[in-house]
């Protein structure tokens, strides 16, 4: 068996490259025809029910607007309920039939059961589940000053996808619905300062790739991967449980790929309605995956060279940060100790007593 595997190690990679080179034009043509066909027969979302998690800002908000333009019924889910009121009104203006808002935490299974149950009780069905809740970082792993954020990041980025999917899956089977997932190219493209985020996103993609085979054609799954997309959020504060308090420090990032969050949201919804298995922006990132499989050393050398140049231009500093919308997270400033008052003198006590009398 070892000899057989050794032979295949030498034969399969070059043979696969040759086959791919010859098959690439034909596969591209077939993919183009399929794309046109799906575009002509895309799903009509009018009066259908869409649940969107992480809908209070950034990509989740923009996806809600795209479904609203398609006249869907929306269920907007987020922890920051106050942000959802304005988004609900915007969705109604854009054409959404009915819009429910539900405050819930996607990392809590009971909350997920509640908002899916409320959706079914009100609308009687569920057609699309959109998971966009995400939290990333831009800190070097060894310089993280507060490790209590680690499990929260894994919870939001991984379990925040798994729990809503687990609860919604029986209803999606009934309607032959679809799951739309907000993933990231960092799941397989090596980037510094994103170790935990990349690990969580890799877990998400592998989870849905496995689930795709389990549900077969009963439930569609669209995995959307993006590079860096720009976003702008209003400031606020999140309170993570178990005493970890982090300060939102929202900034507008310059999108490295020239893309915008609104455009990516439009691509995601259009891809889901066409029934696409993947939505990628930009798609040329895929070439790095090819290098990672067949020439990992070349990819490693290239990134080390590029990243070393970038590192020399910017000082390293420990910080916590957010992605998707990539809001930066900084440790909350230390609270000021209460002012200490010295006890009153006997004369002051006597004057106070006379006033009381």
Q: List, by residue number, the catalytic residues.
A: 197
292, 299 contact by CB (below 8 A): yes
70, 274 contact by CB (below 8 A): no
81 CB neighbour count, 10 Å cutoff: 14
**What does the angle CA 162 – CA 165 – CA 168 come to, to the nearest 5 degrees?**
150
Rounded CA Rg of the chain: 25
DSSP letter string, 269-312:
HHHHHHT-SEEEESGGGHHHHHHHHH-HHHHHHHHHHHHHHHHH
**Tokens 């034909």 belong to which residue?**
26
The three-class DSSP label of residue 20 is helix
231, 234, 263, 289 from 250: Cα distances, Å: 9, 7, 20, 31
Provide the CB-side half-sphere exposure for 332 (13 A, CA): 13
202, 187 contact by CB (below 8 A): yes
Q: Which of 196, 195, 143, 135 is nearest to 316 (CA)?
A: 143
List, edge to edge, every strand of the sheet that includes 73-78. Answer: 99-103, 73-78, 49-53, 128-131, 178-182, 220-226, 278-281
């Amino acid at each position: 068996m070892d000899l057989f595997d050794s032979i295949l190690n030498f034969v399969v990679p070059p043979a696969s490259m040759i086959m791919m080179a010859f098959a690439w034009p034909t596969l591209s043509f077939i993919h183009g025809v399929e794309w046109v066909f799906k575009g002509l027969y895309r799903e009509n979302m009018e009066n259908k029910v869409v649940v969107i998690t992480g809908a209070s800002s950034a990509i989740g908000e923009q996806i809600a607007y795209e479904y609203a333009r398609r006249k869907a019924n929306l269920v907007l889910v987020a922890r920051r309920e106050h942000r959802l009121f304005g988004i609900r009104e915007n969705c109604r203006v854009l054409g959404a039939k009915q819009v429910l808002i539900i405050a819930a935490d996607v990392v809590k299974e009971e909350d997920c059961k509640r908002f899916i149950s409320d959706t079914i009780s009100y609308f009687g069905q569920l057609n699309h589940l959109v998971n966009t809740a995400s939290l990333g970082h831009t800190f070097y792993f060894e310089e993280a000053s507060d490790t209590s954020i680690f499990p929260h990041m894994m919870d939001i980025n991984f379990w925040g996808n798994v729990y809503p999917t687990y609860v919604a899956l029986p209803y999606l089977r009934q309607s032959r619905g679809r799951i739309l997932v907000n993933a990231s190219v960092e799941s397989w493209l090596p980037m510094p300062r994103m170790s935990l985020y990349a690990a969580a996103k890799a877990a998400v993609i592998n989870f849905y790739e496995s689930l795709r085979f389990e549900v077969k054609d009963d439930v569609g799954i669209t995995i959307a991967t993006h590079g860096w997309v720009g976003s702008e959020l209003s400031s606020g504060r999140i309170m993570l449980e178990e005493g970890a308090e982090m300060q939102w420090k929202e900034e507008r990032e310059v999108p490295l790929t020239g893309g915008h969050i609104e455009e990516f949201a439009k691509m995601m919804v259009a891809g889901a309605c066409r029934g696409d298995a993947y939505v990628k922006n930009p798609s040329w990132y895929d070439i790095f995956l090819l290098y990672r499989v067949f020439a990992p050393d070349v990819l490693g050398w290239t990134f080390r060279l590029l990243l070393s140049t970038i590192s020399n231009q910017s000082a390293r500093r420990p910080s916590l940060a957010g992605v998707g919308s990539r809001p930066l997270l900084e440790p909350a400033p230390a609270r000021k100790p209460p002012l200490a008052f010295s006890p009153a003198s006997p004369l002051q006590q006597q004057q106070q007593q006379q006033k009381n009398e």
